[in-house]
Amino acid sequence: MPLHLEPGEGPPSFVDLISTAAYRSMAAALRLGVFAALSPKPLTSADLARTLGTDPRGTALLCEALVAFGYLEQADDTYSNTAPTQKWLSGNGYSEVDRFWATVLFDSWDGLEDSIRTGKPALDFYGWLSDRPETLHRFQTMLSSHADSIAPEVSTHVPVGSTLLDLGGGHAKYAIRLCTANPTLHATVIDLPEALAVGEEAVAKSDLTDRITLRPGDYDSLDLGTDFDTVLLFNVVHGRPAPANQDLLTRVAAALRPGGSVVLLEHDEHSEDRAGDAFARVFSLNLFHGQGGQVYPTAEIESWLTTAGLTTITTHPLRTSPGQSLIIATKPA
Ligand SMILES: C[S@@+](CC[C@H](N)C(=O)[O-])C[C@H]1O[C@@H](n2cnc3c(N)ncnc32)[C@H](O)[C@@H]1O
Q: Which of 72, 97, 122 marks a domain boundary?
A: 97
321 CA distance to ligand 1 middle (Å): 19
180-230 confidence digits (pLDDT tens): 999 999 999 999 998 998 899 999 999 999 999 999 999 999 999 999 999
Q: Are 29 and 49 in contact (CB under 8 A)?
A: no
CATH of the domain at 169: 3.40.50.150
| Nearest atom, ligand 1, residue 219 CA | 20
| Residue 139 lies inside a defined structural domain of this protein | yes
- Nearest CA among 231, 270, 283, 235 for reference residue 254: 231
Measured in whole angstroms, how far is the alpha carbon of residue 7 from the centre of its chain? Answer: 31
Residue type, 144: S
Predicted pLDDT of residue 264? 98
pLDDT digits (tens, 9 = 90+) for 214-223: 999 999 999 9
* Lowest-pLDDT range of 24-28, 225-229, 321-325: 321-325
Instruction: Answer whether residue 279 is part of any domain.
Output: no
Instruction: Please indicate, yes or no, whether residues 167 and 208 belong to a single structural domain of this protein.
Output: yes
* Confidence check: pLDDT of 60 > 80: yes
Closest of 167, 5, 24 to residue 98, by C-alpha: 24
Residue 251 lies in a domain: yes
Q: For 180, left (φ over 0), alpha (ψ -120 to 50), or beta?
A: alpha
Ligand 1 pocket mutation pick from 100, 104, 125, 126 by most atoms within 8 angstroms of CB: 126
Supply the pLDDT for residue 206.
95
Q: What is the CATH number for 85?
A: 1.10.10.10
pLDDT of 69 reads 96
110 in a structural domain = no
Instruction: Find out whether the beta carbon of 235 lies less than 6 Å from any atom of ligand 1.
Output: yes
Residue 66 has pLDDT above 80, yes or no: yes
Q: 243 and 143 in one domain?
A: yes
Most informative mutation of 135, 137, 143 for ligand 1 (most atoms within 8 A of CB): 143
Range of the structural domain that residue 80 is part of: 14-97
**What are the Cα distances from residue 50, in Å, to 44, 65, 67, 73, 194?**
10, 19, 20, 19, 37
Q: Which amino acid is at 207?
A: D
Query: Is residue 220 lining ligand 1, measured as CB closer than 6 Å?
Result: yes
**Nearest residue (CA) to ligand 1, atom 22:** 191
pLDDT band for position 309 (cuts 50, 70, 90): very high
Atom of ligand 1 nearest to the CA of 170: 27
Nearest atom in ligand 1 to 168's CA: 12
Q: Is residue 109 part of a domain?
A: no
**Which CA distances in Å does 2 have to 22, 259, 278?**
9, 51, 17
Kindly state the average pLDDT of the residues 287-313: 97
What pLDDT does 255 receive?
Answer: 98
Residue that is last in its domain, among 40, 72, 97: 97
Ligand 1 centre to CA of 61 (Å) is 41
Indicate whether 44 pLDDT > 80. Answer: yes
pLDDT at 65: 98
Given the CA of residue 238, which atom of ligand 1 is nearest to it? 1
Asked whether residue 258 falls in the same domain as residue 170, the answer is yes
What pLDDT is attached to residue 3? 80
266 lines ligand 1 (CB under 6 A): no
Q: Domain count of the chain?
A: 2
Whether the per-residue pLDDT at 1 is higher than 80: the answer is no
75 and 135 together in one domain? no
Q: Element (H or E) spanning 328, and its range?
A: strand 324-330
157 and 41 in a single domain? The answer is no
Instruction: Give the per-residue pLDDT at 276.
Output: 84
Asked whether residue 154 falls in the same domain as residue 233, the answer is yes
Q: What is the pLDDT of residue 8?
A: 80
Judgement on whether residues 142 and 92 belong to the same structural domain of the protein: no
> Mean per-residue pLDDT for 90-111?
94
State the amino acid at position 214 in one-letter form.
L
Region class of 230: left (phi > 0), else alpha (psi between -120 and 50), else beta: beta
Domain-located, residue 105: no
Ligand 1 pocket check for 268: Cβ under 6 Å: no
* CA pair distance 100, 59, nearest whole angstrom: 23
The rounded mean pLDDT for the chain is 95
Is the distance from the beta carbon of residue 292 to the nearest atom of ligand 1 less than 6 Å?
no
Domain membership of residue 72 (yes or no) is yes
Q: What is the mean pLDDT of residues 115-119?
A: 97
Query: 5 or 309: whose pLDDT is higher?
Result: 309
SS3 label, residue 157: helix
Helix (H) or strand (E) holding 325: strand 324-330
Phi then psi dihedrals of residue 316, to 5 deg: -130, 100
pLDDT score for 70? 96
Confidence tier at 273 by pLDDT (50, 70, 90) = confident
- Assess whether 89 and 145 both reside in one domain: no
Average confidence (pLDDT) over 160-177: 97
Question: 277 pLDDT exceeds 90?
Answer: no
Residues 150 and 64 grouped into a single domain: no
Same domain for 184 and 298, yes or no, is yes
Which of 116-120, 178-182, 221-225, 271-275 bottoms out in mean pLDDT, i.e. has the lowest? Answer: 271-275
Q: Are residues 18 and 136 in the same domain?
A: no
- Confirm whether pTM is higher than 0.85: yes
Pair (164, 213) in one structural domain: yes
Query: Is 200 domain-assigned?
Result: yes
